[in-house]
Amino acid sequence: MNYNPDVLSCLANLSNDEVFTPPQLANQMLDMLPQELFQSPDTRFLDPCTKSGVFLREIAKRLIAGLADKIPDQQERIDHIMHHQLYGIAITRLTSMMSRRSLYCSKDASGKYSISQFDNEDGNVRYRDIRHTWVQGKCRYCGASQEVYDRGDDLESHAYEFIHTDNPNTLYKNMTFDVIIGNPPYQLTTGGTQSQATPLYHHFVKMAKKTNPKYLVMITPSRWFAGGMGLDSFREEMLNDDRLKVIVDYPNAKDCFPNISIGGGVNYFLWARDYHGKCLYSNIHNSKVSTEERILNEFPVFVRYNMAINIIHKILKLKEKNLSEIISSLSPFGLGSAERGHSHFQTGDIVLYSSKGKSYISKREIISGKEYLDYYHVMMSKVTSEHANEPTRDGTFKVISRVQPIKPNEACTFSYFLIGNFKTEDESINILSYLFTRFARFLLLQSISSINISKDKFQFVPLQDFSKPWTDEELYKKYGLTDEEIQFIESMIRPME
């Protein structure tokens, strides 16, 4: 048998912040729409961030089949679809050509090889060289850094047309669209490390809603479930929008994009303008699908595992404080992650823990948090154990990485935060036993949607009496967990070594 792979499937395996969508995934997203849309010659579709043209191509296939009875002549049908129903805004000049090649079978819509003739090269798939609008060093539309992106015409500006306008309806002469669908660019680097990239995808979602289509379908990172850098207001908006009809969530992004790591996973959703009600939410973890109708704004963050809801309800019923009450802010001593101290103890030194291990630093160099130096604590890494918060191959999480008790006159860098202010070493050992339980780490996982951990992520982890150590068995009994709930926790969270 000859192997003839779909070129768009191959493109989808390229790693980039501008992630290409596999055809199979594009069709799963199209399946969420009312299928009668593909049987109407009046339905208009827009991909406002087209890259490979996969959405437009797959929509065209459905329209060509769905309109066969209404427009029997095949060429007439294709011409109608291409000229009056399918539109795209490319994110780069190159992707505009790729998209036209996918849709029209030619990068030149006016050329002799195009399956439908236009009087211009673009057809209905356009690219405009848009520039950022700088205000105090940032783009007023997308937040891009002027220092990084104010550059020559020979370099890509990453100023995407759809989100660099006050009124997106004017982009196509006040044309309205029934369906907006796409896979927007996820982030822009701020010029620092990858973790400092600023999100972009929420701008596309918000702008698409502003055009007021009947349906909006997009795939985005799931980090908005718990907020974060630039996403808190977007999370609140999404969780309070009862027009979100369907969400399909993949905690492990590799289940959608096999060769790409996206911290916190990805989801695609169906937003329906005229719908108001609960959201049909599906979580796909370790090849298992859990689906429930959910009220999205039940908690300050969105809890992505359906079975976790009942467990959280049981914990909240006791009205206990949560662990965030005794957790420091990041950088408790004001020492940057690059601080390494020195290797040999000198008079007046205290112990310093950094990502490179144990060293020493003069007590005089402690900028803030000197009050912590009189107590015992547990020190925890601010990043999760899992790369990009993805589970291991067996689908399990460890959640926390480096965690250890530290004594008075011991400090740490920005890589860590502190838990507790204890007068005795036993209390710090006992809280460590609690953090080692699957129960505590499972509850911590419910608020995490990236590799980063901070005090607000402990909102579901109840505060305990740390005059004694804790075991999972004691905690399961205390909160009345069922055998099924216990099995679910233990299927997700592996033991600490």
Q: Which residue has the tokens 């310093």?
A: 352
- Confidence grade of residue 16 (pLDDT, cut at 50, 70, 90): very low
Average pLDDT of the residues of the chain: 91
Mean pLDDT confidence for 310-329? 96
User: Which of the listed ranges 38-47, 140-149, 171-180, 335-344 does the model predict with the highest average pLDDT?
Assistant: 38-47
Provide CB contacts within 8 A for 98, sequence distance 6+: 11, 51, 52, 53, 107
Least confident range of 153-157, 268-272, 456-460: 153-157
- Confidence grade of residue 315 (pLDDT, cut at 50, 70, 90): very high
Check whether 5 has a pLDDT greater than 50.
no
Residues above pLDDT 90, as percent of the chain: 76
Residues for the chain: how many in total?
497
- Confidence grade of residue 395 (pLDDT, cut at 50, 70, 90): confident
Check whether 234 has a pLDDT greater than 70.
yes
Burial of 151 (0-12, 13-18, 19+ CB in 10 A): exposed
Q: Say if CB 483 and CB 489 are below 8 A apart.
A: no
pLDDT in tens, 92-145: 999 999 999 999 999 999 999 999 999 999 999 999 999 999 999 999 999 998
Instruction: With residue 159 as reference, give the H or E element that holds it.
Output: none
- Confidence grade of residue 264 (pLDDT, cut at 50, 70, 90): confident
Least confident range of 26-40, 150-164, 369-383, 442-456: 150-164
- Confidence grade of residue 497 (pLDDT, cut at 50, 70, 90): confident
Per-domain boundaries in the chain: 7-304, 317-492
Q: Which residue has the tokens 């890259």?
A: 51
Mean pLDDT confidence for 231-236? 92
- Among candidate residues 129, 127, 207, the one with its CA nearest the CA of residue 163: 207
Top CATH class of 317-492 equals alpha beta
Top CATH class of 7-304 equals alpha beta
- Extract the tokens encoding 282: 């599906």
Mean pLDDT confidence for 380-404? 83
pLDDT in tens, 136-154: 999 999 999 898 888 877 7
Check whether 68 has a pLDDT greater than 80.
yes
Check whether 190 has a pLDDT greater than 80.
no
Residues above pLDDT 70, as percent of the chain: 94
What pLDDT is attached to residue 4? 46
Mean pLDDT confidence for 314-338? 94
Q: Say if CB 376 and CB 425 are below 8 A apart.
A: yes
Dist CA 408 CA 415 (whole Å): 19
Check whether 408 has a pLDDT greater than 60.
yes
